[in-house]
Amino acid sequence: MSQKDKDINNETNEETTDASREEIESQNRRASDEQSTSRDSDGRDPYGNRGDERLHGSSEMSTHMNSDMPPGAGDHGGLDYKNLPKSTPGWKVLVQELIADKLALFSLIIFASITAYVFGLTMFLDQAEIVFVDLFAIHEPPNEEFRLGTDYGGRDIFGQLIIGTRNSLAIGFLVTLMSVGFGIVYGLISGYFGGQIDNALMRVVDFFLVLPFLMIVIVFVTIVPSYDIWTFSAIMAAFLWMGTARLIRSLALQETELDYINASKTLGTSNLKVIFSQLMPNLVGIIIVNGTLSLAANIGIESGLSFLGFGFPEDYPSLGTLLSYATQTQTLQNRWWVWLPAALMILVLMLCVRNIGEALRRAGDARQRQA
């Protein structure tokens, strides 16, 4: 692991080549020339992390220099409000935390490259050809034609792995987007209005919580003759939004008590605007963390259902289907190429997303920050 860490450091260092470094320095010089009419340009960064920023954010250098000006240094002229200093926004803290946590950065790079590779490659793969049964090529070990061998139907494992990963990821993203999106709106409304509305909305949540999620999904899959990624995600999301809704509701209840919400109300802002432009931005850290962590879980859920045989049919590749071949002892013992790549893929994906989520969670908590 430490070797890999060093590799990443080298990579990032290589990115800032000598040429770009010179450019940055000249920008610095120009920026400080501009400021020399005002007060001293050696300001403070509220987060004290300028060193890191210089390495990574070279394209944003000019705006960043502005944020380095000391408080009140912008009062030359008074009317050129376009150049008034802006301070470090909250999302930069997230980025800084991700960069400081080498494991999370590494995970992010791996996850991003797997996602890009998988989604890119599936555009060139022909799914019909991959799932075509070829009885003359059953159970072939990895060779030149089939990079990861074939399964009991003579189907290419590598192709199935790529398409399966794409399906799992797509479903994971979709389910997360739908369930977290709905959960946020639901929780915000419940927490903001409180009282009887909150009471009624939370009883609905309780009702959904007691429903046996797995059984309903299995029944749905058995009854509905054909389904695609969208309907499958929707039915899963319908039973996965309650956790987010409860979390957001509890935080919204706390946050609504604060005076800035009262202030907004007395200033004549409508409830809807208060909820989405005042309340929600204050919960955005939690929302991101919650979304990332449930993404990891949702990728696993699809694989799990397919593994049990209630996911997509066999002509629709999925990581879970590949894994379920391992229930045959013959395959488990002698034909590792059928199931091992899929198992590793699930492991790597879930670990990566989890590491990223943990780093984001830490960024929201100043005491645990590493940056």
Q: Applying CB under 8 A, which residues contact other proteins?
A: 46, 71-75, 78-79, 81, 84-87, 90, 258-260, 262-269, 278, 281-282, 284
Q: Which residue, 21 or 265, has its beta carbon nearer to other proteins? A: 265
Q: Which residue, 224 or 258, has its beta carbon nearer to other proteins? A: 258
Through-space distance between the first and last CA atoms of the chain, rounded to whole angstroms: 20
Which residues pair with residue 150 across a beta bridge? 156
Q: Which residue, 228 or 259, has its beta carbon nearer to other proteins? A: 259
Q: CB 241 → other proteins: shortest distance, Å? A: 25
The residues, ordered by sequence, that sit 6+ positions from 349 with a Cβ below 8 Å of its Cβ are 111, 114, 165, 168, 169, 296, 299
Side chain identity, residue 145? E
Q: Which residue, 75 or 126, has its beta carbon nearer to other proteins? A: 75
Buried b (16+ CB within 10 A) or exposed e, 169-208: bbbbebbbebbbebbbbbbbbbbbeeeeebeebbeebeee
Q: CB 199 → other proteins: shortest distance, Å? A: 10
Q: Which residue, 45 or 52, has its beta carbon nearer to other proteins? A: 45
Q: CB 45 → other proteins: shortest distance, Å? A: 11
Q: CB 362 → other proteins: shortest distance, Å? A: 19
Q: How far apart are CA 189 and CA 186, in angstroms?
A: 5
Q: Which residue, 72 or 225, has its beta carbon nearer to other proteins? A: 72
Q: CB 155 → other proteins: shortest distance, Å? A: 52
Cβ atoms of 328 and 339 closer than 8 Å: no
The residues, ordered by sequence, that sit 6+ positions from 288 with a Cβ below 8 Å of its Cβ are 94, 360
Q: CB 220 → other proteins: shortest distance, Å? A: 38
Q: Which residue, 112 or 258, has its beta carbon nearer to other proteins? A: 258
Q: Which residue, 73 or 100, has its beta carbon nearer to other proteins? A: 73
Q: CB 77 → other proteins: shortest distance, Å? A: 9
Q: CB 186 → other proteins: shortest distance, Å? A: 22
The DSSP secondary-structure symbol of 17 reads: -
Q: How far apart are CA 307 and CA 330, in angstroms?
A: 17
Residue reference for tokens 């072939």: 140
Angle at 291 between CA 214 and CA 169, to 5 degrees: 65
Cβ atoms of 149 and 143 closer than 8 Å: yes
